[in-house]
Amino acid sequence: MQRDGGSFRDPAGNVYRGNGRVFRTVSDAGAADYEFARDSGFLSAMTAKNSVIEMTEVAPGILGGVAECRYVLEHPVLNFVSYPYEWCFSALQAAALLQLDLILEALDHDVMLSDASAYNVQFRGARPVFIDALSFRPYREGEYWAAHQQFCDQFLNPLLLRALGGVDFNAWYRGNLEGIPSADLDRLLPWFRKLSWRVLTHVTLPVKLQSGTRQKTASRLDAAAARRLPRASLGHLVRGLRTWIAALSPPTGKRSAWSLYESENSYDGDAKSLKQDFTRRFAAAAKPAILWDIGCNTGIYTEAALEAGAGEAIGFDTDTGAVEAGFARAAKNGTPFLPLVLDAADPSPGKGWRGRERKSLFERANADGLIAYALVHHLSIGRNIPLADVISWLIGLAPQGVIEFVEKNDPMVRHMLRLRDDIFDDYNRDVFMKAIRQDADIVETCEVMEEQRVLVWYRRRAP
In whole angstroms, how close is the CB of 173 to another protein at the nearest point?
16
Name the minimum Å distance from CB 106 to another protein: 17
**Contact between 209 and another protein (CB under 8 A)?**
yes
Q: Residue from 9, 49, 140, 208 that binds another protein (CB under 8 A)?
A: 208
Q: Which stretch binds another protein (CB under 8 A): 57-65, 156-164, 194-202, 244-252?
A: 194-202
User: Could you say which of 181, 309, 350, 386 contacts another protein (CB under 8 A)?
Assistant: 181
Site map (CB under 8 A) of another protein, residues 88-127, x = contact: ----------------------------------------
25 belongs to the binding site for another protein (CB under 8 A):
no
Long-range CB contacts (< 8 A, 24+ apart) of 391-395? 391/432, 391/435, 391/436, 391/438, 391/439, 392/435, 392/438, 392/439, 394/294, 394/370, 395/436, 395/439, 395/440, 395/458, 395/460
Q: Which is nearer to another protein, 226 or 462 (CB)?
A: 226
- Closest distance to another protein from the beta carbon of 196 (Å): 11
DSSP string, 120-187: GEEEETTEEEE--TTSEEEPPTT---TTHHHHIIIIIHHHHHHHTT---SHHHHHH-TT---HHHHHH
Stretch in the footprint of another protein (CB under 8 A) among 42-50, 161-169, 179-187, 359-367: 179-187
Whether 147 contacts 121, CB under 8 Å: no
> Helix-strand-coil percent breakdown of the chain, rounded to 5?
45, 15, 35
* Region near another protein per CB under 8 A, out of 222-230, 256-264, 295-303, 438-446: 222-230
Q: Is 415 in the site for another protein (CB under 8 A)?
A: no
Which of 9, 64, 76, 233 lies at the binding interface for another protein (CB under 8 A)? 233
By CB under 8 A, name the one of 212, 251, 253, 334 that touches another protein.
Answer: 212
Q: 61: Cβ–Cβ under 8 A, 6 or more apart, which residues?
A: none
Taking CB under 8 A as the rule, does residue 145 contact another protein? yes
Q: Is 197 in the site for another protein (CB under 8 A)?
A: yes
**Edge-to-edge strand order for the sheet containing 400-406?**
337-341, 312-317, 290-294, 369-372, 400-406, 453-460, 440-448
Q: Within a 10 A sphere around the Cβ of 444, how many other Cβ atoms?
A: 14
Closest CA to 299 of 263, 340, 256: 340
Q: Which residues bind another protein (CB under 8 A)?
A: 142, 144-146, 148-150, 152-153, 181-183, 197, 200-201, 204-214, 216-218, 220-221, 223-230, 232-233, 236-237
